[in-house]
Structure 1
Amino acid sequence: MRHYETQYDAIGRRFEESKTTAAFSAADTHTLLTALDAIGGVKGLDALDLACGYGHNTRLLARAGAARTVGVDISAEMIGLAREHDPHGTEDITYVVADAADLPPLGAFDLATAVYLFNYAPDRAALHAMFRCVRAALRPTGRLFAVVPNPGAFPHVDWSPYGVRILDRIPEGDAPLLKAEFLTEPPVPFEFREWPHAEFAEAAVEAGFASVSWQPARTPPPDAVRDEAFWAAYRRSPVSSLMVCTA
């Protein structure tokens, strides 16, 4: 996971710019919040947000009433940015710099979220280690909600209208390497692995999750900038899907 750490240390504040402007990020947030609402919300639950970045989803969980919220990211730069959003600790969030494939003891959680975590696993061993660490952090009735990229899009689908562009696909190792860029101004390059969803499911089951299900991307209500035609096109070829794992 070292490459992910240095990659996001370098991206820094530019990732926050992409997160707050890209359509795919808006869809991811809507998808996650819709799924959490469907289980009755997070009020009173202990929540773990993995690959928390600058803390966008971590803060959403805390503001929705989570009893305890912990955000984890391997990038010290990202955790620094997350802490800047609440320098006085008023939102009662703990941020930790750690590798999701080797989590320190953080206590037990009812819920874990992971938005674009598992696609950064460099090989199958790391992928399985991530799922084992998440399962170990959850209580017996805990759930994992993971937003993961949809494989097979490049070169057939153009995601650039939604804020991200895939530039190249390099077959190597356990999963192809995708070279991409966030479409900020100027664009910011990054890389991740194109894991089949079946590999994620296999790793989850091996880690001890009792069930794995999938939900399609959901899109926010249309507005003057992104109308229904825009979102309908996105839903035909979405960047991500939601994986739900139950302990």
Structure 2
Amino acid sequence: MRQQYDTSTPPPAFSVADAFTLRTALDALGGVRGLDTLDVACGHGTTTRMLASGGARRTVGVDSCPERIRRARESGGEPGHGVEYVVADTVGLPALGPFDLATAVYLFNQAHDRTALHAMFRAVRANLRPGGRLLAIVPNPGAFPYADWEPYGISVVERAPGGDAPLLRARLETDPPIPFECREWAHADFAEAAADAGFATVTWQPTRTPPACAVRDETYWARYRTAPVGSLMNCMA
């Protein structure tokens, strides 16, 4: 989901809210200056570059798609700017760290079954130092068919039961629209996988939205906050 909207102009509202949520969480933690940071499922490197520009000592972006990594490199940050990009699948993530902080935006909903979900969390945890932190934006389950996310840049068109979690068929409301699929894991499933991977604590933060502007006023954002696409998962190793 994240990879498709990385180059949207302008970015869809839900991704603007997610980026603001992540930035404010990092600011509340004192920022990333001097930290070793890992951005998993980095797409075209939007969050990776944010970490590097915040003063991280080392920043590594990882994605399974060589084309996305190529575009991330073209967008700046490697080499000589404290940013590295690696092509790797999260389930088979090699030892790249250790890191103080990992970020993941709409990664874990891509797990096709529970085994893969747990493997993803274990791979991230294995790359963190003791006391390290994972900040992950994950989808909120149960919105379809009750919430209409189309005004915010994404539509769920079908929920197909089966497997370890329902399969959601959705589309990004770009021009033209981009279809994609993901699993509708419950937050409890994410928390269980994090605990199994060795994370000591898991806490949750609701979406925060940016200040109102001429394009998106406070009424718009207030409506979005009633049923946001994602939440922030904060896991401490």
| TM-score, with structure 1 as normaliser | 0.93
1:18-57 aligned within 5 A? 18=8, 20-57=10-47
Task: Give the unaligned 5+ runs of structure 1.
Answer: none
* Residues 95, 126 of structure 2: 8 Å contact kept: no
SS in 1 for 2:90: coil
State yes or no: 1:196 paired with 2:196.
Answer: no
RMSD of aligned Cα (Å): 1.6
Q: 1:221 aligns with which of 170, 186, 211?
A: 211
Q: Could you tell me which residue of structure 2 aligns to residue 120 of structure 1? A: 110
- The one-letter code sitting in structure 1 at the alignment partner of 2:206 is P
Which digits, 9 at most, give the CA deviation of each residue in 1:169-226, with x for residues without a partner? 1012111111111111110111111000000000000110000000000000000010
Change (3 A) 1:44 1:187: same
Change (3 A) 1:184 1:202: same
Task: Give the unaligned 5+ runs of structure 2.
Answer: none
Q: Name the structure with the higher helix share.
A: 1
Q: 1:71 aligns with which of 61, 69, 89?
A: 61
Change (3 A) 1:85 1:170: same
Count of residues in correspondence between the two structures? 237
State yes or no: 1:16 paired with 2:6.
Answer: yes
Aligned structure 1 segments of 4 or more residues deviating by more than 4 angstroms? none
Change (3 A) 1:140 1:20: farther
Which digits, 9 at most, give the CA deviation of each residue in 1:88-125, with x for residues without a partner? 63432110111111111212000000000000000000
Change (3 A) 1:87 1:231: closer
State yes or no: 1:243 paired with 2:229.
Answer: no
Change (3 A) 1:203 1:211: same
SS in 2 for 1:18: coil
Rounded to whole Å, the distance in 2 between the matches of 1:70 and 1:19 is 25
Q: Percent identity?
A: 63
State yes or no: 1:130 paired with 2:120.
Answer: yes
Rounded to whole Å, the distance in 1 between the matches of 2:45 and 2:174 is 19
